[in-house]
Structure 1
């Protein structure tokens, strides 16, 4: 018999004594594994790194929660004062703020209406206003849905300063704005009207807003 290797056996491997090859296939050895997985790069090392990272994240979350609890406690106790926006009182609805200047009476046209049972009251007040220099337009009677009022002052947007001037003549009046286009002013006299304020006091009025003291819905006024 000859000493030929069996069919298919890698002759070079047998001749050279290379034990890493067997029948043409590379055999992975322990040295190969060691070269790939170096110290600190094995599964155990990676697991330790992940645990350390998770610990850091949990520590940071815990610190944030503790800080938030301290802030909440400080706000509740009053020793932490957060800045707050300045609060402004809401303006009264439909009441022009002005300020308005006292107008020369001869530039103001006034219509005077009487809503009381007292006959001739509108004419009486119209003559008193005319003696102060106001121009009188119409006089007559009116019905309003408001008890215990002194007078209602009405004007359009272009007559606000004129309405302010008329309000200085009669105490405790309430202003209502309508949609008229001119600057005329209506005065609707109520049951508590007594007299005009002294002319010196009216003329000494400083710039200010129109007066709208009623907090309930404004009554409807029908002059006629």
Structure 2
């Protein structure tokens, strides 16, 4: 053979086809793209299953973030708190000022309470109550009748006696007493006790 393919010695020329680097680059790019899509799909499936297997929960996450806060269902009216007309109150004066027990008892009666004894406090409390007063009752009254009476004298101390019998309460007037809580404020406190407003559901943060 002549020209550039002349045979010399025992070696023969190898004819190779030119490399197509452009095709290799395209194939590599396509492979990376396929792997990326597959990885993204795997993450989405993992997210769906970790949310309880419900695809709708994964799709609607962002939509739920835009929901407005809505109030929780209103709780049922508390059955543990009695009406004032079912509570008997003994009004006792532990101060040196006369007439306080009678005046306070008359006001409580106007507000619907039953009135028991009216007079001076026992020796245990007489001239020993420095605050506005002490509300005293049986242990069973701690979460029932005592809070109702407590709404009428908000700053009074509440105490219970395990050995106390019956359901009567004592309102013992102390040195810091001036008058009962204003009726409008007492009524609002009773409403909050018997029919509390539902707390709004907090907004979701995205």
- TM-score, scaled to structure 1: 0.45
Which has the larger Rg?
Answer: 1
- TM-score, scaled to structure 2: 0.49
**Structure with more relative contact order (C-alpha pairs < 8 Å, separation 6 or more):** 2
